[in-house]
Structure 1
């Protein structure tokens, strides 16, 4: 396969981590407890660091003069390839932790498949990230069960959060043709295996506290892998890209 076939996959991984990290950092100063605020920020920073690694590799393959920062902060909305799930607003704490868990379960399955990639650069990035995401998944799983099996108020919020986010999970269980080809070449994680692992993980966590598992989500007209996003990404990018676009030559 040509090296440029790898770029969309690297952008999927990098953009998803970047946008989810940005969403988590919006909780700074707003989390329900100081300890939880620190935990959210740490997870967010882990994801931003992972995003940099993926985007640096993508920039090298693009070889058009852009670096990881340019890819992160100077692309338009349609050029992003992140999952639709991660761009959704934080909502309340139940929505945030449900979204984090659904993403973590997918992220963990993907990284576990990538540690044996034939591409040594990908395998190295995935190996380091997997250690962090193992913790992320454990933490978000515990929060889903704590909220779902907690008070009547916390359970009702979880019961509202799940259907609000569920339609975006269609991207977590079905990869693109490009990803399937990369998987056949031993480079990417197999989309079918990732989808199966994701469903099993979600089923186990939900069933532990008797949270209903909705039927599999169906494809609809939006597709983050193709740059077709919800309105929420554009608004997020306005804030995220404000300084880099206003002062493009600034150095830190």
Structure 2
């Protein structure tokens, strides 16, 4: 029967009913000697945390999108990012086991789950853009556009990474991120060229979020400026002036209060049952 696989006991089954094709199957997971384990783990952790936290924010939009099709789209975007986070957290843990929180002896929690659910806010390395509380739909679109443009550009470069695992994650991620960028870009233009109210909301979201563009560009080593410029032009929106980054960086563990509140909700069940099997 089609559902027989749900009861199979195998190491590929991450959660009940979610058996999946492993994009890392057959890869040599040894870290190339040219890469520094500590630096590489930190790099993977930053990318993982960006995806994990934005996935959580997108999941909060479940049942709140303008229509059913976009509600499903947002859920799928969240799942894509969650998948990236899981692979990258696993890679960080394998490269540098010291990053994994210590759990009670005998805990069945895998390393990637320990990193997701048993770190405090100061140990997270995501950029501050992704942790900000959700606003209206225009806010979701502008944030996703900024994020996906930068992340896609970086993942395209990571296709040739010396780390075969990271290259495999990037190969899977570029397809997902291209869809995210295009979906957000279409909605940006639609809202910017729509009613006076939808345009007002897009401009307000852009003004509020653009202050985080400098940190995003610094974290990803890229600006994605040309792509954003084309989207802004299509929407009849002037690209905001560059903003000098001030304050601490998320990559250094400096976060807003919003992250602590998000983690308190996201982690509560796992922390209450550190010996649980899911």
Same fold (TM over 0.5): yes
Q: How does 1:1-252 map to 2 (within 5 A)?
A: 1-64=35-98, 67-175=111-219, 191=221, 194-195=222-223, 198-252=224-278
TM-score, length-normalised on structure 1? Answer: 0.90
CA contact (8 A) 2:38 2:95 kept: yes
Tell me if the contact between 1:222 and 1:230 (Cα under 8 Å) persists in the aligned partners: no
In structure 2, list runs of 5 or more residues that go unmatched.
1-34, 102-110
Shift of 1:32: 1.8
- Give the conservation status (yes or no) of the 8 Å contact 1:17–1:48: yes
- Find the aligned partners of 2:208 and 2:269 in 1 and give their Cα distance: 32
Please provide the CA RMSD for this pair.
1.2
Partner of 1:186: none
What whole-Å deviation, never above 9, does each CA across 1:198-232 have from its counterpart, x for those lacking one?
11111110111211211112111121010101111
What is the SS of the residue equivalent to 1:163?
A: helix
**How far 1:28 moved relative to its partner?**
1.1
Residue 172 of structure 1 and its aligned partner are, at CA, apart by 2.2
Output one character per residue of 1:77-125: Cα deviation in whole Å (capped at 9) or x when no partner. 0100001111111100000111010001011111011001111111111
**Aligned partners of 1:107 and 1:86: how far apart in 2?**
12
Distance in 2 between the 1:140 and 1:122 partners? 25
* Equivalent residue number for residue 20 of structure 2: none
Query: Which residue of structure 1 lines up, in the alignment, with residue 10 of structure 2?
Result: none
Q: Which has the higher helix share?
A: 1
> What's the secondary structure of 2:201's corresponding residue?
helix
Q: Aligned to 2:160, what secondary structure does the other structure show?
A: coil
1:184 aligns with: none
CA contact (8 A) 2:47 2:85 kept: yes
Equivalent position of 1:183 in the other structure: none
Q: Is the 1:98–1:162 contact (alpha carbons within 8 Å) kept by the matching residues of 2?
A: yes
Distance in 2 (CA, whole Å) between partners of 1:159 and 1:80 is: 30
Instruction: Give TM-score, length-normalised by structure 2.
Output: 0.82
What is the alpha-carbon distance in structure 1 between the residues aligned to residue 248 and residue 192 of structure 2? 29
